[in-house]
């Protein structure tokens, strides 16, 4: 066939092919077109998001708020949510929250089978050793003293007894400074021939303390469907001793040693009933020595029996006594009613809120509590977070705090006093224009869900994962903290050096730093409190610890929103913040995504607290990852301030962990380099060597005409809040709010810029005696760091 013939027949052939295969051809064409279109779309989306914002851009990261992160029985609604106000939001994170709001908490997800039970240990007295672990918890030192003494005596006894070779040196552990996971979810790893024996000494407090947290943890572990109900069954045995006060709590029914009793019961469950010796109890005011000695003899006897291979003995109470089993069954039956009990409790709690709006209180129940009820009924009723009789109250008052209601606090910091005397303000003045004498430092929640190593309050502070306290109304808190603040300012009237004009100015609070101690967004009515502040034209700097995503997502925009970034990775964060939430990393990263999505509404800040030996070395890249994830407007890097308490000491913190300013500066320079190598537009904007603090800022947002503009136009912020001026955050061509750029203030002053130290030359620089710079080393900032080191708790 000639080429001409082929060409002549081609149209007919093509027509034939088309008739035979048109359906697959059509489908292929459509699929190809769709593929090309999708590829183009994906490419445009993948364009790198730089730190420079697109005004009013839609949500970039879909936030998933887990049901267990939601405060229970709350009145959240879509209009109250502020993950972002963009129209595109409807199906995103907002929907996730709204859906999950109703009724008591449910734990979603497939019920995974519990782990196979750990085998009970067999003890071979010829080859095995017993490791006694003595645990204690103490708020005011009594139990610590007795526990230390107990461990010493036990060590002596071990050396002299017949079975000496069977025992290892007893170890002493403060429960406040161990990881529960390491000891009370599963026993610590030991070699095959080492068998563990737990001895626990505890006081009782009928107020909220870390003890509640310990108890909650034991309860959670028992109820956690992912873990064996008796994960500590590999222990050889345990025994508990309680310290109480019969004067205030004469009988067990009235609460004598109630928490030790609870711990004893939970341990029975967790160990599969390995109570080696009955619970001991003593009244600290009369009989402690005798009771403790009596109990120690009993425990030693049990240890000898174990060492001789006689086990815990038959019928010993707690090792399987039927009476106890019955009791437990009864409790399980009662637990069927737990849900309604919990709802009743919440209602009761709601009724106790001294609040004009009768809305239910947001309570963040993140545990599996609905499965069980507390063993001691009296602990269920809401308590005051910091009652006037508590050690926390005493400690806080001693430190100069005024406690407002039962869970809020206010204090005038040393910078406020310094500014009143014309001796300089804190770094917030250099960076943002906040004069310290116009600033109030307060918190509506002295409680927190972390146990940070650098937190001086650790040991006596209320901690918890849920809000379970009597709740004060926001207007009462506002009135209380402002009155207490003014009262403290007035007390400065006669102090030498106070400048009259500054004193007069200080009688009108302009700014509030909501940080101090604790976690402000834990307070269920935080938004109302913030609105009260804004309507009084008081600016708000709010610091949160990135553990409460639901509350962060629903927070009203503040003047400047901070997240504490105490470490750059999960392991390091666990070590330094010692969070109570098991899913702390997921909470943390979700908060970062929320910060990213909300960066067009308000100024967002990362606060890095550098602790040498904990979170500095090798972590620059990790911090850069976090900055890249959240794209905050600012990154404040600050050396830790050492508070010198015994609590800090027990956490292993000493002055050696406080970085020098040079070290902080070097860290910041490295971080800046790392960020810019990733195409992120951050530069070092300002410094305040006095408080060992350096500011990185997004230069596409906070530079004007090539000059840093990190300060805030506060009056404009209030005008935007009051609607007197219109913001420029747009959506679908409409104004939907304001942007941080709408209230950027004047240029950062020359003296505050990087390299210039950050001290306002109009103020008088005062050095501590013998600490001033020597004439030949005027530039040294080391001595000023001393001041910073002594400025514990300044925000
Ligand atoms: C605020 C407060 C509440 C207390 N509540 C109880 C209680 O409910 N039952 C009890 O037996 N003892 C109670 N006590 C007494 C303590 O348990 C007792 O003083 C104990 O020795 C304190 O130990 P610590 O110094 O190791 O913290 C309470 C003490 C205080 C200060
Ligand atoms: S977040 Fe603040 S208050 Fe809470 S433990 Fe840490 S330092 Fe203390």
Mean pLDDT value across residues 106-114: 39
Ligand nearest to the CA of 252: 1
- Residue 12 inside a domain? The answer is no
On whether both 591 and 680 belong to a single domain, the answer is yes
pLDDT in the model for residue 100: 36
Which of 96-105, 234-243, 248-257 is the least confident region?
96-105
H runs (alpha helix) in 276-335:
288-307, 322-335
CATH number at residue 192: 3.40.50.360
pLDDT confidence band for 365 (50 / 70 / 90): very low
- Residue 29 inside a domain? The answer is no
Domain boundary among 294, 318, 342: 318
Alpha-carbon distance of 114 to 112, in angstroms, equals: 6
- Residue 104 inside a domain? The answer is no
- The alpha carbon of 43 and the centre of ligand 2 are apart by a number of angstroms equal to 43
- The alpha carbon of 203 and the centre of ligand 1 are apart by a number of angstroms equal to 6
pLDDT in the model for residue 99: 37
- Residue 20 inside a domain? The answer is no
On whether both 590 and 678 belong to a single domain, the answer is yes
User: What is the length of the chain?
Assistant: 795
Alpha-carbon distance of 59 to 56, in angstroms, equals: 9
Residue whose CA is at the smallest distance from ligand 1 atom 8: 206
On whether both 548 and 693 belong to a single domain, the answer is yes
Question: What HEC string does 446-472 produce?
Answer: CCECCCCCCCCCCCCCCECCCCCECCC
Nearest atom within ligand 2 for CA of residue 450: 5
- Residue 379 inside a domain? The answer is no
- Residue 23 inside a domain? The answer is no
- ipTM given for this complex: 0.86
Alpha-carbon distance of 8 to 22, in angstroms, equals: 22
Residue whose CA is at the smallest distance from ligand 1 atom 5: 205
On whether both 617 and 748 belong to a single domain, the answer is yes
On whether both 295 and 433 belong to a single domain, the answer is no
Per-residue pLDDT for 280 more than 80?
yes
On whether both 417 and 298 belong to a single domain, the answer is no
What b/e readout covers 632-645, taking b as 16+ CB neighbours within 10 angstroms? Answer: bbbbbbbbbbbbeb
Number of domains in the chain: 2
- The alpha carbon of 639 and the centre of ligand 1 are apart by a number of angstroms equal to 37
Is the shortest distance between the CB of 201 and ligand 2 below 6 Å?
A: no
User: Range of 225's domain?
Assistant: 129-318
Mean pLDDT value across residues 367-371: 31
Is the shortest distance between the CB of 448 and ligand 2 below 6 Å?
A: yes
Alpha-carbon distance of 297 to 290, in angstroms, equals: 11
- DSSP class of residue 689? G
Q: What is the mean pLDDT of the chain?
A: 78
On whether both 302 and 412 belong to a single domain, the answer is no
Alpha-carbon distance of 620 to 670, in angstroms, equals: 7
On whether both 314 and 396 belong to a single domain, the answer is no
Ligand nearest to the CA of 460: 1
Per-residue pLDDT for 618 more than 50?
yes
Does residue 696 sit in helix, strand or coil? strand
- Residue 120 inside a domain? The answer is no
On whether both 428 and 575 belong to a single domain, the answer is yes
pTM comes to 0.63
Residue whose CA is at the smallest distance from ligand 2 atom 6: 452
User: What's the pLDDT tens digit per position in 694-725?
Assistant: 999 999 999 999 999 999 999 999 999 999 99
On whether both 314 and 397 belong to a single domain, the answer is no
- Residue 85 inside a domain? The answer is no
- The alpha carbon of 590 and the centre of ligand 2 are apart by a number of angstroms equal to 19
Nearest atom within ligand 2 for CA of residue 454: 7
- The alpha carbon of 283 and the centre of ligand 1 are apart by a number of angstroms equal to 10
Domain boundary among 298, 318, 338: 318
CATH number at residue 523: 3.20.20.70
On whether both 420 and 273 belong to a single domain, the answer is no
Pocket test for ligand 2, best of 176, 210, 411, 545 (most atoms within 8 A of CB): 545
On whether both 282 and 397 belong to a single domain, the answer is no
- The alpha carbon of 427 and the centre of ligand 2 are apart by a number of angstroms equal to 20
Domain boundary among 318, 345, 370: 318
pLDDT in the model for residue 55: 44
């Amino acid at each position: 066939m000639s080429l001409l013939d082929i060409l002549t027949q081609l149209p007919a052939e093509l027509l034939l092919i088309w008739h035979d295969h048109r359906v697959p051809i059509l489908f292929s064409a459509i699929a190809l077109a769709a593929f090309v279109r999708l590829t183009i779309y994906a490419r445009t989306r993948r364009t790198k998001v730089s730190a420079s914002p697109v005004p009013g851009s839609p949500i970039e990261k879909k936030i998933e708020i887990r049901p267990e992160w939601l405060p229970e029985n709350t009145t959240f609604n879509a209009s109250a949510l502020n993950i972002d106000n963009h129209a595109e939001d409807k199906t995103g994170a907002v929907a996730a929250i709204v859906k999950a709001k109703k009724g008591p908490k449910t734990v979603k997800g497939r019920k995974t089978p519990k782990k196979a039970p750990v085998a009970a240990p067999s003890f071979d007295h010829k080859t095995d050793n017993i490791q006694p672990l003595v645990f204690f918890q103490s708020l005011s030192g009594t139990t610590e003293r007795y526990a230390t003494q107990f461990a010493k005596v036990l060590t002596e006894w071990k050396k002299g007894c017949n079975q000496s070779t069977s025992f290892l040196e007893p170890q002493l552990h403060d429960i406040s400074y161990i990881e529960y996971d390491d000891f009370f979810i599963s026993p610590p790893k030991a070699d095959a021939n080492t068998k563990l024996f737990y001895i626990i000494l505890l006081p009782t407090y009928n107020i909220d303390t870390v003890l509640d947290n310990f108890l909650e943890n034991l309860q959670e572990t028992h109820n956690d469907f992912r873990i064996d109900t008796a994960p500590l069954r590999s222990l050889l045995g345990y025994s508990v001793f309680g310290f109480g006060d019969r004067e205030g709590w004469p009988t067990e029914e009235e609460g004598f040693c109630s928490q030790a009793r609870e711990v004893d019961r939970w341990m029975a469950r967790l160990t599969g009933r390995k109570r080696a010796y009955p619970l001991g109890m003593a009244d600290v005011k009369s009989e402690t020595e005798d009771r403790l000695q009596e109990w120690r003899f009993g425990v030693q006897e049990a240890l000898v029996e174990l060492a001789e291979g006689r086990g815990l003995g038959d019928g010993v109470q707690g090792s399987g006594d039927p009476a106890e089993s019955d009791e437990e069954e009864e409790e399980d039956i009662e637990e069927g009613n737990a849900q309604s009990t919990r709802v009743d409790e919440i209602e009761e709690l709601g009724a106790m809120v001294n609040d004009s709006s009768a809305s239910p209180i947001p309570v963040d129940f993140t545990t599996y509590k609905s499965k069980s009820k507390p063993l001691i009924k009296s602990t269920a009723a809401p308590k005051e977070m910091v009652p006037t009789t508590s050690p926390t109250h005493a400690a806080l008052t001693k430190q100069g705090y005024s406690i407002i209601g039962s869970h809020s606090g206010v204090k005038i910091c040393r910078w406020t006093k310094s500014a009143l005397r014309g001796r300089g303000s804190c770094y917030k003045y250099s960076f943002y224009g906040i004069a310290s004498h116009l600033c109030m430092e307060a918190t509506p929640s002295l409680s927190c869900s972390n146990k940070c190593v650098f937190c001086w309050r650790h040991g006596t502070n209320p901690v918890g994962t849920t809000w379970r306290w009597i709740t004060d109304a926001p207007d009462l808190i506002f009135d209380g903290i402002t009155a207490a603040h003014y009262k403290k300012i007035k007390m400065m009237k006669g102090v030498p050096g106070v400048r009259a004009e500054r004193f007069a100015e200080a009688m009108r609070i302009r700014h509030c730093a909501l940080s101090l101690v604790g976690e402000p967004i834990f307070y269920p009515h935080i938004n109302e409190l913030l609105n009260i502040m804004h309507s009084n034209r008081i600016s708000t700097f709010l610091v949160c610890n990135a553990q409460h995503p639901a509350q962060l997502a629903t927070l009203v925009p503040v003047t400047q929103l901070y997240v504490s970034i105490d470490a750059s990775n999960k392991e390091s964060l666990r070590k330094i913040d010692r969070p109570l939430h098991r899913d702390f990393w997921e909470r943390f990263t979700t908060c970062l995504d929320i910060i990213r999505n909300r960066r067009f509404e308000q100024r967002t800040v990362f606060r890095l607290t550098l602790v040498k030996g904990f979170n500095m070395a090798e972590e620059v890249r990790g911090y850069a990852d976090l900055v890249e994830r959240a794209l905050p407007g600012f990154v404040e890097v600050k050396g830790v301030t050492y508070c010198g308490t015994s609590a800090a000491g027990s956490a292993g913190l000493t002055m050696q962990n406080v970085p020098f300013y040079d070290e902080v500066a070097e860290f910041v320079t490295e971080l800046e380099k790392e960020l810019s190598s990733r195409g992120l537009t951050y530069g070092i904007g300002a410094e305040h060597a006095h408080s060992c603090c350096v500011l990185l800022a997004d230069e596409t947002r906070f530079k004007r005409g090539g000059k840093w503009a990190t300060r805030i136009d506060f009056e404009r912020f209030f005008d935007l809040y009051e609607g007197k001026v219109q913001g420029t955050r747009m959506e679908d061509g409409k104004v939907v709010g304001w942007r941080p750029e709408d209230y950027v203030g004047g240029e950062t002053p020359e003296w505050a810029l990087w390299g210039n130290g950050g001290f306002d030359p109009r103020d008088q620089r005062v050095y501590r005696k013998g600490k001033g710079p020597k004439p030949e080393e005027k530039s040294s900032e080391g001595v000023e760091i001393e001041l910073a080191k002594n400025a514990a708790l300044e925000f």
